[in-house]
A and B are shown apart, each in its own frame.
Chain A
């Protein structure tokens, strides 16, 4: 097998492979940086919670549109996800409850509501299959949605980068200089939900979180500064998409899980060989040798 037929031919020969690749690169651009911020805020699991929160909205969108409709399901998911994010934020800032506790209570409520709505549909039709796409079935519309969300995401992130970072590391300072910390926090949660909505069209919610968090965690193993971490996260996510698709094509494995497991392999390698990894720690470089 030549290098061309291994790496290029699948994409040159098949439109669905090209669209899948473009979608995963777009997702990577959006989710990578967001994942890094999530992780630095110690909210690595909040993404998971929010992804479940999206379910009832997407289900309602599906039922309202009477079929698979990306705009309806996306909008429904966005509203439900934002609702949970806002409510948990509100409860956290007004009661004694911590953020993780409020996230847990609201996402569980939302998830239960979603399952109820799906089963209320009466026929037990396998809505979950329909709700969550496979990356191989991405069409032009889905590509525009994913691409649009990724672009919007990057623009917003660029505009509020400073206050967001300050809010992340030193909220007290931001308040002292007159910044409105909570509004940035909510804007950030909005971006998280937006990316998850983009991701569930392509990979399914669970997979979407995987592509968001794993590359971010890998990035922390390699880099020390925030811009470098974001860059590494985005490119690792894109690389996982590429390698995962290639593996799925040649080995006949289901595409979504293969992409995430590729990221997991990269994570394992980074754990071992990264600058703060196991190998470096066991065999430290001699100090000032030579």
Chain B
């Protein structure tokens, strides 16, 4: 346990340093579980927050392994945000080992979730952010959380939340019009992960997937054969590879069926600054454009 004491020492000194600076500069030191949420928190908090994402760009939020650095970051934070609904299964353990006393703000609270099948069990689909309408709920939860922690800046936070909500409404309308423009029987895609469920439901897109919701399961020959038959029968034209998954199997299935690659989608994480999806708004618009282009072929 020597290591823990050492880290604990670091954490204490870090916390002391940060509380001192936070008191004078009125900047909340905030941690978010993954990049998409971090970006939305940044939009709502504006200059009053300093946001750090635990899972980095292009990272897999399901199979994240926190490092001591992450524990330090969390311990030093004034406020933590998680999406919830079982997405960040590692968070509780991390909070415990970091000695984080606060309760994280659950951004997805109040969102009407959908169920999905995973290994024969019905579980709540945690990937709520792929519908812009759900992110509007995120924004109101984040707004509440931030104001509770920093009441002095309530006016500013409210203003930026309202502005961002407007932007999200525009994005939502944009997606509806773009996807809705394609004929109904063509609105079908194949993707390697069903993190896109809310997107499909909200904007009327049918999704076929070669693997379950988790990235852990190894495919059997029977699964792959079933999927190929299904795609041939349903005449799916386009497939998408998720950016944190093994693309080889999807390519394989596509080759066997003649479906065409539709490009890369960003569904669980943002890209780095020079990628196509450095912010949530850009990510969402990028995904909509990719899907719309593929299904209108």
Contacts and interface: CB of A to CB of B under 8 A. Distances in A.
Nearest to B247: A68
B221 A124 contact: no
A250 B222 contact: yes
Contacts of B57: 122-123
A179 interface: no
A interface, size bucket: 20 to 34
Interface stretch (A46-54, A130-138, A165-173): A130-138
A253 interface: yes
B215 interface: yes
Given A14-B256, A139-B252, A256 B218 contact: yes
A23 interface: no
Contacts of B225: 10, 13-14, 16-17, 249
B84 interface: no
A18 to B, nearest CB: 10
Contact of B65 (A124, A133, A254, A257): A124
A133 B248 contact: yes
Interface in A224-272: 245, 248-258
B224 A16 contact: yes
B223 interface: yes
Chain B at the A interface: SS class: loop
A264 B224 CA distance: 25
Contact of A248 (B55, B221, B246): B221
B260 interface: no
A250 B59 CA distance: 35
A78 interface: no
Pick from A10, A16, A253, A257 the residue with the most CB of B within 10 Å: A16
A20 B249 CA distance: 12
A125 B218 contact: no
Contacts of B223: 252
A130 B56 CA distance: 18
Interface of A: 10, 13-17, 20, 68, 119, 122-126, 129-130, 133-134, 136-139, 245, 248-258
16 contacts: A10-B225, A14-B228, A124-B56, A124-B59, A124-B60, A124-B65, A126-B60, A134-B219, A134-B246, A134-B249, A136-B221, A137-B251, A139-B248, A248-B220, A254-B219, A258-B220
